[in-house]
């Protein structure tokens, strides 16, 4: 399974990640399922609901934001495919905290931001047994 990020989406996630540095940013990814792949054509940036300094290494999504993302996906006739967030000064790989918070089906894109500059974006999905993440390739298109 591969995540295809529209080139503008890639730039938007990178830009948000840099703007939010040194805190984690987050949002939803919407698009279409195409075979086993996921085409991300729209994002919904949201406010990290974590309290103050905890935002440096954690993100939280408020229930009202999940509802907003669901409504947007219905209105735009898109699938709600996943969540993106940044890792300030850390690699673009999920933490134990990320694993504990993960939901089945969703893809999780993580943008590494090193000293304020967006670096790698990797994507993962929760394994069927929910014990680990499985790597998904990320391809930029258009």
Domain containing 105: what range? Answer: 2-141
Mean pLDDT, the chain cut into blocks of 10 residues (142 residues total): 94 98 97 95 96 88 98 98 98 96 96 98 96 95 83
Total tally of structural domains belonging to the chain:
1
What's the CATH number where 135 sits? 3.40.140.10
Tell me, what's the pLDDT at 51?
Answer: 85
Give pTM, 2 decimals: 0.95
Instruction: Give which of 65, 72, 31, 69 is closest to 50, Cα–Cα.
Output: 65
Nearest to residue 71, comparing CAs of 126, 16, 28? 28
- Name the burial class of residue 50, with classes exposed (0-12), middle (13-18) and buried (19+) by CB atoms within 10 angstroms of its CB: middle
């Amino acid at each position: 399974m591969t995540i295809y990020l529209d080139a503008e989406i890639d730039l938007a996630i990178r830009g948000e990640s840099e703007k939010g540095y040194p805190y984690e940013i987050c949002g939803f990814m919407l698009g279409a399922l195409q075979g086993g792949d996921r085409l991300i054509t729209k994002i919904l940036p949201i406010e990290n609901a974590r309290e103050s300094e905890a935002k440096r290494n954690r993100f939280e999504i408020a229930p009202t934001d999940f509802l907003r993302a669901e409504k947007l996906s219905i209105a735009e006739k898109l699938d709600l495919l996943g969540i993106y967030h940044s890792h300030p000064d850390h690699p673009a790989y999920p933490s134990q905290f990320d694993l504990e918070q993960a939901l089945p089906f969703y893809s999780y894109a993580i943008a590494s931001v090193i000293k304020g500059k967006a670096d790698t974006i990797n994507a993962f999905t929760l394994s069927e047994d929910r014990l680990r993440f499985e790597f998904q390739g990320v391809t930029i298109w258009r």
